[in-house]
Amino acid sequence: MFTGIIQAIGRIAAIEPGEKDIRLRIETGKLPLAEVSLGDSIATSGVCLTVTDLPGDGFWADVSPETLSLTTLGRKAVGDAVNLETSLTLQTPLGGHLVSGHVDGVGHVEQIVEDARFWRVTIAAPENLARYIAMKGSICVDGTSLTVNQVDGAGFELTIIPQTWEETVFSDYQTGSPVNLEVDVVARYVERLRQFDQAQPE
């Protein structure tokens, strides 16, 4: 589990393609690695990846065909920036919201508008995820925990503060940029409970 509070911006340092999968080497910048071990999880632009090697300045991870099909990692190139967060511990302040690192789908940036010292960013979500996105609810965009300001169909608007703009990959976004989306896990469980209840015989 993660909090959605980004700790560092990393870079894709190498990509090793397999038959249907890839291996990624991530340079982690200022991300603290002293307590990271092989097998630990690191959220990489919202995708929970397992550390398979620690070369000193970052980590290697395997990316499965399933992950490539549901996230933006298969579209990344060497040098691209990624948001990074190590996994949640019992001592970690929960400054964002509970994030699993299991991306639900890929959205696209529709509009970026400067507003005083802030930025208003509109993102179009896949239609099948729209029902989980609520005004003033939480959403995870490329691993960043954010509050939804407005919802219009499958589109939603966020306000990005200067700290988030500077310390995440948001400053790299352009119109059309693909982004990993993870909806609030509570909404998914509520829906599943309702489906189960409705399926029970009276």
Query: Is 93 a domain residue?
Result: no
pLDDT beyond 70 at 132: yes
Same domain, 71 and 136: no
Helix (H) or strand (E) holding 58: strand 58-63
Same domain, 66 and 119: no
Task: Look up residue 168 and give its two tokens.
Answer: 């995440």
- Cα distance between residue 42 and residue 2, in whole Å: 9
CB-side exposure of 156: number of CA atoms within 13 Å?
Answer: 27
Q: For tokens 């959605």, name the residue.
A: 4
Query: Is 96 a domain residue?
Result: no
- 34 Rama class: left (phi>0) / alpha (psi -120 to 50) / beta: alpha
Bridge-partner residues for 43, per DSSP? 48, 85
- Cα distance between residue 106 and residue 138, in whole Å: 16
Same domain, 80 and 110: no
Same domain, 81 and 109: no
Same domain, 65 and 134: no
Task: Read off the pLDDT of residues 157-183 as tens digits, 9 standing for 90 and up.
Answer: 999 999 999 999 999 999 999 999 999
8 A C-beta contact, residue 43 and residue 101: yes
Query: Is 100 a domain residue?
Result: no
Query: Is 151 a domain residue?
Result: yes
Task: Read off the pLDDT of residues 2-60 as tens digits, 9 standing for 90 and up.
Answer: 999 999 999 999 999 999 999 999 999 999 999 899 999 999 999 999 999 999 899 99
Q: Residue length, the chain?
A: 202
Same domain, 42 and 81: yes
- For 53, the domain range is 8-86
* CATH, residue 22: 2.40.30.20
Range 114-150 burial, b when 16+ CB lie within 10 A, else e: eeeeebebbbbbeeebbebbeeebbbbbbbbbbebee
Instruction: Indicate the pTM of the whole model.
Output: 0.90
Task: Read off the pLDDT of residues 66-107 as tens digits, 9 standing for 90 and up.
Answer: 999 999 999 999 999 999 999 987 677 777 788 999 999 999
Integer Rg of the chain from CA: 17
Query: Is 117 a domain residue?
Result: yes
Same domain, 55 and 109: no
- Cα distance between residue 3 and residue 87, in whole Å: 8
